[in-house]
Structure 1
Amino acid sequence: MTQLSLGLTTALLRTLAVLPYKFVAKLGMVIGIALYVLPSRRKHIVLVNLRLCFPEKTSREHQTLARAHFGHVVRSYLERGIQWFGSAQSIRDIVQIESKIDLYDDEAPPTIFMGFHFVGIEVGCMLYSTYLPVASLYTRMSNTAMCDLAKRQRGRFGAEMIERATSARKIVGLLRSGKPVMLAADMDHGIDNSVFVPFFGVPACTLTAVSRLARLGRARVVPFVTEVLPNYEGYKLTIFEPLADFPSGSDEIDARHMNAFLEEQVAKFPEQYYWVHRRFKHRPEGMASVY
């Protein structure tokens, strides 16, 4: 990305940050649904994922779900404006929060907040950082300029941004110091430090980092999900009870536990899960590529 394109992107996001929220949200949905009619690699990936995970649905149902998903994805890109350049109050105004745990408990054990890649994950993380200290793991983008911009804006309310490749020792140190760590482990990052366990009945390459960090940091694992509310009313961040018997001592059992929890959440609003990601990029030995 050149300095000119980065400047234009920043200017666009700053402009979107000051426009009425519902206008930006509706514009994103319209553009996304319009883009769905065009052939694209991402459209192919979305449909493959939906066919694999929901074989009981008809082709028309897959298409309807994929079209709605495209709208949500593009909407989430446009809403980066308010997330990256809006005030803390503007983010609080559009995100409700419901927590099953006491977020202000001074005696709380070390905590890993485990998120999932729904389209609203970013705004949920940023909302939390406007209230309480937190460290957040991120994956470095290939585009250095955009990565630096995203890191800077995501951490502007005090979140400590930590690259995923950072040593586990540093993350464990943060946990033991009392600072919660946010991460997401529901994408295919390769077979290293991963196991194949079912996701909607399909073998999915699933990271074992959550189990390892929870074990080393003696931390509880608290799932959270950010849902897009209907009628352009914003978002709802739900923080759940800690996962029971986690870590169990078995990476495979823990990975199955994570995926089972995620399946329950996806079933509630499937159009909002990040199907544009190649969730089944890596396959068990002997199984053909699906993309």
Structure 2
Amino acid sequence: MKKRTHVEKPEFTLALLHPKHWGVWLGFGLLALLVNLLPYALLYRLGRGIGLLGMKLGKSRAKIAHRNLELAFPDMEKQELERMVTENFKNTGMALIETGITWFWPTWRFKRILVAKDIATLESLRAEGKGVLLCCVHALNLEITARAFGVLGLQGYGAYRPHTNPAYEFIQYRGRTRNGNQLIYRRDLKQMIRVLREGERLFYLPDQDYGHNKSVFVPFFAVEEACTTTGTSILSSTSKCAIVTGSGFRNSAGKYDIIANPRIDLDYPKKDDIAAAAYMNHYIEQVIMRAPEQWLWLHKRFKSMPDETQTNSRYL
């Protein structure tokens, strides 16, 4: 069956060469040049150096990361917490390099940094023609993870928000659709359900605070009332798909371990939004703990409170 997407592929026009877009072309041009000319070991050091610089310049973000870790791991020793914040910023800088690698490396080179540790679950479900909600997390190397599944022949659909700058959008679209991945507008729920029913894979990220709409408050790490999306339950119950958690964290050798865990939907409490969200968070925590320093702690994960009129004292 021919795959389809409602995100229209942006075409190149002369308007994209207008001087107001030169900064975008120059920035991505330099990034593409760097990642293709330099060896990975040097790119790794460069990315982490950028992250350290960002930590010095982004004091407010450092405070957010510090507070998130305090909330999530209240028993963590101060020295370890400070180390985690520093590592998180180093990995944030590396995320820029990893985006360049994902968008601009040829497939033959990209394959060299992948370690397919366990993808048997997805291969089995593909053989059955079963749709899969592939729940990943906001790892700082998320761009690599998505392309990696495509390179391994397990392409999927990603929820997408087009960029407002047309030159940026032209580059971003092509970067995110390499090796067969497709895009769906992030608010197009009907299309997401449709592709799952057709036996496709949909990349989904249920690990962040998306606000009160279609959310419940359940435990996430040590925070007892963390705003958590019910989207997983909505998509799985309406499409009858399988649910699998996946990840692609960077290991100590500088390669990326691509993992698709055994399906978790057989015991998933689909008819109870609160129980379902708590169930999902349990498995999301397990994924994050494979490499917690590579997760997006710079985002205010616990910003929403059960009472919308209540002042959030967590970040004061």
- Corresponding position: 1:81 with 2:105: no
For 1:11, the equivalent position in structure 2 comes to: 29
Q: CA deviation at 1:236?
A: 0.6
Q: CA deviation at 1:132?
A: 3.3
Post-superposition Cα deviations, 1:2-44, rounded to whole Å, max 9, x if no partner, equal 4022112211221133121221112111221243234522111
Change in Cα spacing, 1:102 to 1:4, as seen in structure 2 (3 Å) is closer
In structure 2, the gaps of 5 or more residues are: 1-18
Q: Secondary structure at the match of 1:75?
A: helix
Match among 119, 133, 143 for residue 99 of structure 1: 119
Q: CA deviation at 1:210?
A: 1.2
Report the AA paired with residue 106 of structure 1: A
Matches within 5 A, 1:202-217: 202=223, 203-217=225-239
The separation in 1 between residues aligned to 2:164 and 2:146, in whole angstroms, is 22
2:210 touches 2:229 (CA, 8 Å); kept in 1?
A: yes
For 2:246, the equivalent position in structure 1 comes to: 224
For 1:272, the equivalent position in structure 2 comes to: 294
Change in Cα spacing, 1:103 to 1:170, as seen in structure 2 (3 Å) is same
Change in Cα spacing, 1:151 to 1:212, as seen in structure 2 (3 Å) is same
Report the AA paired with residue 212 of structure 1: I
For 1:128, the equivalent position in structure 2 comes to: 149
TM-score between both structures, scaled by the size of structure 1: 0.92
1:82 touches 1:90 (CA, 8 Å); kept in 2?
A: no
Q: Secondary structure at the match of 1:79?
A: helix
The size of the alignment, in residue pairs, is 289
For 2:197, the equivalent position in structure 1 comes to: 176
- Corresponding position: 1:194 with 2:215: yes
The separation in 1 between residues aligned to 2:221 and 2:269, in whole angstroms, is 22
Matches within 5 A, 1:39-118: 39-97=58-116, 98-103=118-123, 105-118=126-139
Higher deviation after alignment, 145-154 or 66-75: 145-154
In structure 1, the gaps of 5 or more residues are: none
For 1:250, the equivalent position in structure 2 comes to: 272
Higher alpha-carbon Rg? 2
Aligned Cα RMSD in Å? 2.0
The separation in 1 between residues aligned to 2:175 and 2:169, in whole angstroms, is 10
- Corresponding position: 1:160 with 2:182: yes
Q: CA deviation at 1:138?
A: 2.6
For 1:22, the equivalent position in structure 2 comes to: 41
Report the AA paired with residue 30 of structure 2: L
